[in-house]
Amino acid sequence: MAAALEHVPVLLAEAIEGLRIEENGVYLDGTFGRGGHSAAILSQLGVDGQLHAIDRDRAAVDVAQQRFAEDARFSIHHGEFSQLDQYCEQRGLAGRLNGVLLDIGVSSPQIDDPGRGFSFQFDGPLDMRMDQTRGETAAQWLVSAEASEIARVLKEFGEERNAKRIASAIKRTLQERSIETTQGLVAVIESATRVRDRHKHPATRSFQALRIQVNDEMGALRRALDAAVRMLAPGGRLAVISFHSLEDRMVKRFIRDESTPREVARGLPQKTDHIRLKSVGKAIKAGESELKKNPRARSAVLRVAERLP
Ligand SMILES: C[S@@+](CC[C@H](N)C(=O)[O-])C[C@H]1O[C@@H](n2cnc3c(N)ncnc32)[C@H](O)[C@@H]1O
């Protein structure tokens, strides 16, 4: 199957509304992907506005360079959104951002390209790295990790009920032969799966868990949230779209902790000096009409917060 070149942006209007774009503001899109959200931000920016985009996938960066080559308001950086604070500090943007968007997870072109190894539906190298210029592939990680660590990852990031059995089967297989391809791994998972979910392929949860592990998605999000708040200008907006309940929980708790007074002890005044954010509205999910057009929006949740002075 040919790789999809397109990525249909999720919760596009809602995210742009949440960012409340100022005509001459400075914005950072930490997850360029194929540029759906970036294009919408640029369409609302005036001539003196700026959009700084980041993506850790070289293919996304190449698209950005072609798509917005002519636009002086736009710049793209190949890197980690978890280091957006360093990016801003180097360019004199610390504390000056009017908005940060993170649309986390993988893009459709990444999933649909068998050569990237994200999908159990195709055969390809068991890679799964969003940034193919560094780090361990999924195949290498399975070799280096202990069975107990693999089981923990499958359970924690994939809520896989057969985590221990699958992890043992992977390690047993690796003693006899290598597991280098997605279909090689699917066969091991299927052989170890006793309890099957009627509506899910037996490899769905394990593939999701491995992807999150290989790309340190939870760690990157944790660091990015804090960095974004430090880089925002007073009144600047943070908009995060997540696709996994663990990620959404992290975003929700972060915004809650950053916006709620803390009780030091009963009877004493509440502590408020840590408060940096105000939550804006409720969590937003895709509506019926978006879901009809784009089933991948099914698990997306958008949360927005505003930087306090
Ligand atoms: C869901 S897509 C974004 C789609 C984009 N909003 C659009 O409309 O085309 C997520 C993108 O974020 C990138 N990404 C994920 N985690 C990242 C990280 N920690 N640092 C930088 N880019 C990351 C992925 O490579 C992918 O291209």
In this prediction the pTM is 0.95
- Residue whose Cα lies nearest atom 22 of ligand 1: it is 55
What the chain holds in terms of domains, given with CATH numbers, is: 3-109+217-307 (3.40.50.150), 132-214 (1.10.150.170)
Residue 153 sits at the vertex; the CA angle it makes with 151 and 154, to the nearest 5 degrees, is 65
pLDDT at position 228: 98
Question: At which residue do the structure tokens 């070799």 appear?
Answer: 143
For 87-101, write each residue's pLDDT tens digit.
999 999 999 999 999
Q: How many CB atoms lie within 10 A of CB 243?
A: 18
Would you state the structure tokens that stand for residue 133, as one six-digit string?
Answer: 């210029």
**Cβ–ligand 1 contact at 82 (below 6 Å):** yes
130 lines ligand 1 (CB under 6 A): yes
**What are the pLDDT digits (tens) for 155-193?**
999 999 999 999 999 999 999 999 999 999 999 999 999
The pLDDT assigned to 198 comes to: 83
Residue 5 clears pLDDT 80, i.e. is over it: no
- Residue showing tokens 């949740």: 301
What digits encode the pLDDT tens for the residues 24-39? Answer: 999 999 999 999 999 9
d(CA 300, CA 226): 21
Tokens describing residue 96:
């000056």
Structure tokens at 226: 């804090």
Question: Ligand 1: which residue has its CA nearest to atom 12?
Answer: 31
pLDDT number for residue 3: 46
Mutate to test the pocket of ligand 1, among 37, 55, 68 (most ligand atoms within 8 A of CB): 55
Ligand 1 centroid, distance to 193 Cα (angstroms): 31
Higher pLDDT: 60 or 69? It is: 60
**pLDDT value of residue 49:** 98
Q: What is the mean pLDDT of the chain?
A: 96
How many Å separate Cα 47 from the centre of its chain? 30
pLDDT at 197: 80
- Which atom of ligand 1 approaches the CA of 35 most closely? 9
Residue 272 token pair: 């408020």
Among 304, 301, 265, 307, smallest CA distance to 104 is for 301
Structure confidence by residue, pLDDT tens digits, 270-303: 988 889 999 999 999 999 999 999 999 999 999 9
